[in-house]
Structure 1
Amino acid sequence: MKQSTQTDLISIRDVAARLPKFINKVPNIISGLKQAYIRTPNTPAGLGLAFERAVKRNPYGDALLFEDQRYSYQELNEWANQIAHYYLSKGIKKSDVIAVIIENRSELIATVIALAKMGVTSALVNTAQTGKVLTHSINLVKPIAVIVGEECRQAVDDVRQDLNVKADHFYWFADQATRENTGIAPANYVNLAEIITPFPTFNVATTHSVKGKDGLFYIYTSGTTGLPKAVIFTNSRWTLAYGTYGHILNLHEDDVMYVTLPLYHATGMVVCWCGVIAGSAALAIRRKYSTTAFWNDVRKYKASAIGYVGELCRYLMDAPPSANDRAHRVTKMIGNGMRPNIWSKFKDRFGIEEVLELYASSEGNVGFSNIFNFDNTVGFSPTPYAIIQFDKEKNAAVHDAKGRCIKVNKGEVGLLIGKITNRSPFDGYTDEKNNQSVIMKDVFKKGDSYFITGDLVRDIGFRHAQFVDRLGDTFRWKGENVSTTEVENICSEYPKISEAVVYGVEIPNTNGRAGMAAITLHEGAELTDEDLSEMVTLFQKDLPAYAVPVFLRVQEVVETTGTFKYQKNKLKEQSYDPGKTSDRLLVLLPGHSAYCDISPEIFSNIEAYKYRF
Structure 2
Amino acid sequence: MKSTWNARVTVAELVAERWGDHRPGLWCEEQVLTHHETAAGAAARAQLLTELLPRGAEPHVGVLLDNTPEFPLWLGAAALAGAAVAGINPTRRGPELARDIRHTECRVVVTERAHLPLLDGLELPGVRLLVTDTEAYADLLAPYADARPDASRATPADRVLLCFTSGSTGAPKAAICSQGRLAAAGRSLVEQFGVGPDDVHYVCMPMFHGNAVIADWAPALAAGAGVALRRRFSASRFLPDVRRYRATYFTYVGRAVQYLLATEARPDDRDNPLRLGFGTEAGAVDAAAFERRFGVRLVEGYGSSEGGAAVQWTPGTPSGAVGRPARGGELVVLDPHTRAECPPADFDAAGRLLNGNAAIGELVNRGPNPFEGYWRNPEAERERRRDGWYWTGDLFYRDRDGFLYFAGRTDDRLRVDSENLAAALIENILARYEGAVAVAVYAVPDPVAGDQVMATLAGDFDPAGFLEFLAAQPDLGTKMAPRFVRVVERMPVTATNKVHRAGLRGEGFRCADPVWWRPPGASAYRRFGAVDLAGLEAEFRARGREGLMAEEYMAEGPSAFAKGPSSVRRQGLEPRTR
TM-score computed with the length of structure 1 as normaliser: 0.80
Q: Secondary structure at the match of 1:313?
A: helix
Q: Percent identity?
A: 23
Residue 102 of structure 1: how far off its partner (Å): 0.7
Taking the aligned partners of 1:194 and 1:123, their CA distance within structure 2 comes to: 24
**Residue from 295, 298, 301 that aligns with 1:358:** 301
Matches within 5 A, 1:513-532: 513-521=451-459, 526-532=460-466
Could you tell me which residue of structure 1 aligns to residue 343 of structure 2?
408
Taking the aligned partners of 1:221 and 1:326, their CA distance within structure 2 comes to: 36
Name the CA shift for 1:553/1:359 in 2 (closer, same or farther; >3 Å).
same
Residue 301 of structure 1: how far off its partner (Å): 0.8
**Residue from 124, 132, 140 that aligns with 1:163:** 124
**Residue 478 of structure 2 is aligned to residue 545 of structure 1:** yes
The CA RMSD measured in Å over matched residues stands at: 2.5
**Residue from 389, 392, 397 that aligns with 1:450:** 389
Q: Secondary structure at the match of 1:197?
A: helix
The Cα offsets for residues 376-403 of structure 1, whole Å up to 9 and x where unpaired, read as: 32223334221013xxxxxxx242xxxx
The gaps in structure 2 that reach 5 residues or longer are 347-355, 541-578
Name the CA shift for 1:310/1:461 in 2 (closer, same or farther; >3 Å).
farther
| Contact 1:366/1:384, CA 8 A, preserved across alignment | no
Taking the aligned partners of 2:316 and 2:138, their CA distance within structure 1 comes to: 43
Q: Secondary structure at the match of 1:547?
A: coil
Name the CA shift for 1:546/1:529 in 2 (closer, same or farther; >3 Å).
closer
Name the CA shift for 1:463/1:155 in 2 (closer, same or farther; >3 Å).
same
**Residue 172 of structure 2 is aligned to residue 259 of structure 1:** no
**Residue from 35, 41, 56 that aligns with 1:73:** 35
Could you tell me which residue of structure 2 aligns to residue 195 of structure 1?
140
**Residue from 181, 198, 206 that aligns with 1:237:** 181
Taking the aligned partners of 1:241 and 1:566, their CA distance within structure 2 comes to: 43
Could you tell me which residue of structure 2 aligns to residue 5 of structure 1?
none
Could you tell me which residue of structure 2 aligns to residue 556 of structure 1?
489
Taking the aligned partners of 1:209 and 1:384, their CA distance within structure 2 comes to: 35
Question: Aligned letter for 1:79?
Answer: G
Matches within 5 A, 1:397-436: 397-399=336-338, 404-411=339-346, 413-419=359-365, 421-436=367-382
| Contact 1:231/1:362, CA 8 A, preserved across alignment | yes
Question: Aligned letter for 2:31?
Answer: Q
| Contact 1:310/1:338, CA 8 A, preserved across alignment | yes
**Residue 329 of structure 2 is aligned to residue 386 of structure 1:** no
Matches within 5 A, 1:337-356: 337-352=281-296, 354-356=297-299
Taking the aligned partners of 2:166 and 2:255, their CA distance within structure 1 comes to: 19
Taking the aligned partners of 2:394 and 2:176, their CA distance within structure 1 comes to: 20
**Residue from 465, 468, 471 that aligns with 2:407:** 468
Residue 495 of structure 1: how far off its partner (Å): 2.5
Taking the aligned partners of 2:400 and 2:276, their CA distance within structure 1 comes to: 24
**Residue 17 of structure 2 is aligned to residue 50 of structure 1:** no
Could you tell me which residue of structure 1 aligns to residue 435 of structure 2?
496
Q: Secondary structure at the match of 2:424?
A: helix
| Contact 1:476/1:513, CA 8 A, preserved across alignment | yes
| Contact 1:221/1:229, CA 8 A, preserved across alignment | yes
Name the CA shift for 1:603/1:419 in 2 (closer, same or farther; >3 Å).
closer
Could you tell me which residue of structure 2 aligns to residue 216 of structure 1?
160
Question: Aligned letter for 1:355?
Answer: L
Question: Aligned letter for 2:397?
Answer: R
Residue 312 of structure 1: how far off its partner (Å): 1.0
**Residue 537 of structure 2 is aligned to residue 574 of structure 1:** no
Taking the aligned partners of 2:248 and 2:275, their CA distance within structure 1 comes to: 6
| Contact 1:99/1:145, CA 8 A, preserved across alignment | yes
Taking the aligned partners of 2:298 and 2:400, their CA distance within structure 1 comes to: 19
Could you tell me which residue of structure 1 aligns to residue 315 of structure 2?
372
Taking the aligned partners of 1:292 and 1:165, their CA distance within structure 2 comes to: 41
Name the CA shift for 1:410/1:574 in 2 (closer, same or farther; >3 Å).
closer
Could you tell me which residue of structure 1 aligns to residue 109 of structure 2?
146
Question: Aligned letter for 1:414?
Answer: I
Taking the aligned partners of 2:316 and 2:35, their CA distance within structure 1 comes to: 31
Residue 605 of structure 1: how far off its partner (Å): 4.0
Could you tell me which residue of structure 1 aligns to residue 386 of structure 2?
440
**Residue 61 of structure 2 is aligned to residue 98 of structure 1:** yes
Question: Aligned letter for 2:132?
Answer: F
Name the CA shift for 1:439/1:496 in 2 (closer, same or farther; >3 Å).
farther
Taking the aligned partners of 2:316 and 2:95, their CA distance within structure 1 comes to: 43
| Contact 1:95/1:214, CA 8 A, preserved across alignment | no
The Cα offsets for residues 75-105 of structure 1, whole Å up to 9 and x where unpaired, read as: 1111111111122234568951111101111
Taking the aligned partners of 1:568 and 1:245, their CA distance within structure 2 comes to: 41
Residue 316 of structure 1: how far off its partner (Å): 1.6
Name the CA shift for 1:486/1:201 in 2 (closer, same or farther; >3 Å).
farther
Taking the aligned partners of 2:374 and 2:247, their CA distance within structure 1 comes to: 35
Could you tell me which residue of structure 2 aligns to residue 34 of structure 1?
none
Count of aligned residue pairs for this structure pair: 523
Question: Aligned letter for 2:138?
Answer: A
| Contact 2:104/2:375, CA 8 A, preserved across alignment | no
| Contact 1:247/1:279, CA 8 A, preserved across alignment | no
Residue 256 of structure 1: how far off its partner (Å): 0.9
The Cα offsets for residues 319-364 of structure 1, whole Å up to 9 and x where unpaired, read as: 2321121010111111111202222222222112x43321112224
Q: Secondary structure at the match of 2:174?
A: strand
Question: Aligned letter for 1:275?
Answer: P
Taking the aligned partners of 1:281 and 1:145, their CA distance within structure 2 comes to: 30
Question: Aligned letter for 1:513?
Answer: D
Could you tell me which residue of structure 2 aligns to residue 295 of structure 1?
239
Question: Aligned letter for 1:51?
Answer: V
Q: Secondary structure at the match of 2:502?
A: helix
Q: Secondary structure at the match of 1:196?
A: helix
Taking the aligned partners of 1:202 and 1:422, their CA distance within structure 2 comes to: 39
TM-score computed with the length of structure 2 as normaliser: 0.84
Question: Aligned letter for 2:321?
Answer: T
The Cα offsets for residues 119-155 of structure 1, whole Å up to 9 and x where unpaired, read as: 1111101022221211111111111221111121110
